[in-house]
Amino acid sequence: MRQRVAILGATGSIGSQALDIIAQNPERFEVVALACGRRSDAADAVAAAHPAATLLVGGDSSELERLVLSSAPDLVLVATTGLVALPATIAALDSGAAVAIANKETIVAGGELVMAGARRAAQAAKSTPLERLRPVDSEHSALWQCLNGEDPAGVERLWLTASGGPFRTWEAERISAALPAEALKHPTWSMGAKITIDSASLVNKGLEAIEAQRLYGVPMERVGILVHPESVVHALVTFSDGSTIAQLASADMRGPIGYALGYPQRMERLIPPVDLAARGALTFDAPDLARFPGLAIALAAGRSGVRATSALIAADDVAVSRFLAGECRFGAIPVILEATVAALEGGATPTSVEALLELDAEARAYATALPIPEVLRA
Ligand SMILES: NC(=O)c1ccc[n+]([C@@H]2O[C@H](COP(=O)([O-])OP(=O)(O)OC[C@H]3O[C@@H](n4cnc5c(N)ncnc54)[C@H](OP(=O)(O)O)[C@@H]3O)[C@@H](O)[C@H]2O)c1
């Protein structure tokens, strides 16, 4: 039987790659609902290609939730940016649909609320939380693949790899003074602007470490990061007996998207396999937290808790927008992150979607109003 699929963020980088995979596998998938942010040629093209699917344009959180519930999907791909799809994600899990989650914000800020939804769904479906809430981020997909069939008690350490971004070999002062055109030149992955800037600052890797902590239930102390410029190994898991398992694949998001859509079956000819002999040496290094302070701030937020991680991800969204708008230099990003997390991390842990969205708005307002130090103005 074909799986009924809803795609939130259908016109974006992840959403459109998912639609390509679905178009190549019409016997396995049927698109029943699509959502995007605004009217555009891309939205028209997506609607024309799927006339039977319900299309929602520019919906708010409740409209996205209603779209998911009314279209009764078996699988929902959450590929929006920001927190707009947080309620829809929890509603999808509670309705019995599996969720393929690309959106980091939902896991980093949504924290326990989303993970509790995944555990409830797993119990109801007599399945596992990872089968119900399927990671799409390449590193978390790689961890999932390394952990398949393993006893969690034997897991010693999770490793995420980072390409190191365009500033991997730059001096600290040059990184701090960088402007958008330099930060947007990602050496290995082709992605949206926000995540490309996050890769240059290594904040993306910090957000991924927080995601790993939540998805796999391990403390931050047991999540390691390796700079691996070739982007062939995406993650590794070290076990209690001293063995380490790694996942290798070409740097192509269709791999992890297809794994999440097709799980537990692997797709046919999804991406070209890695040719290791042609590839040559693979190198690994520890990240330099002094040159990439945003990573250190993100890891500290992960150790601090949900308030800090929610403030971090909201502040980062604002900081990257201010940077891309030409308001400041690259070095202002960690300044905005550090000040916002410090201002908001104390206080009660949010235990509802409303409280999380309130904290998100507060962090955004703080980060937006923060003055940029003279030397970091663009
Ligand atoms: N790109 C990657 O390779 C990659 C890798 C790992 C993880 N991720 C994560 O995946 C998520 C999506 O990333 P992306 O790069 O695909 O982003 P993107 O290219 O910016 O796409 C975002 C999508 O969300 C849609 N959207 C915005 N507001 C919406 C709303 N209110 N309702 C429904 N849809 C809405 C956009 O529609 P419009 O086009 O109409 O604005 C677009 O389709 C992010 O959280 C990112 O961190 C991405």
Structure tokens at 6: 């809803």
Look at residue 363 in the predicted model and tell me its pLDDT: 98
Cα of 141 vs centre of ligand 1, distance in Å, is 18
Instruction: Report the first-to-last Cα separation within the chain, whole angstroms.
Output: 56
* HSE-CB of 355 using CA atoms within 13 angstroms: 11
Residue nearest to atom 21 of ligand 1 (CA): 12
Cα of 188 vs centre of ligand 1, distance in Å, is 19
pTM metric for this prediction: 0.96
Contact criterion met (CB below 8 Å) for 208 and 142: no
Look at residue 191 in the predicted model and tell me its pLDDT: 77
Cα of 305 vs centre of ligand 1, distance in Å, is 26
* HSE-CB of 146 using CA atoms within 13 angstroms: 28
DSSP state of 273: P
CATH of domain 305-378: 1.10.1740.10
Residues of CATH 3.40.50.720 domain(s) within the chain? 3-135
The radius of gyration of the chain's CA atoms, rounded to the nearest angstrom, is: 20
* HSE-CB of 364 using CA atoms within 13 angstroms: 13
Residues of CATH 1.10.1740.10 domain(s) within the chain? 305-378
Q: Which of 8, 13, 184 most suits a substitution to test ligand 1, by most atoms within 8 Å of the C-beta? A: 13
Pocket of ligand 1 contains residue 81 by CB under 6 Å:
yes
pLDDT averaged over 10-residue windows placed end to end, the chain, 378 residues: 97 96 97 97 97 98 98 98 95 98 94 94 97 97 97 97 96 97 85 90 98 96 97 98 98 97 95 96 98 98 96 97 98 98 96 94 98 96
* HSE-CB of 106 using CA atoms within 13 angstroms: 30
Identify the CATH homologous superfamily for domain 3-135. NAD(P)-binding Rossmann-like Domain (3.40.50.720)
Dihedral sign for Cα 17, 23, 29, 30, please: positive
Bridge partner residues of 57 (DSSP): 36
Look at residue 192 in the predicted model and tell me its pLDDT: 79
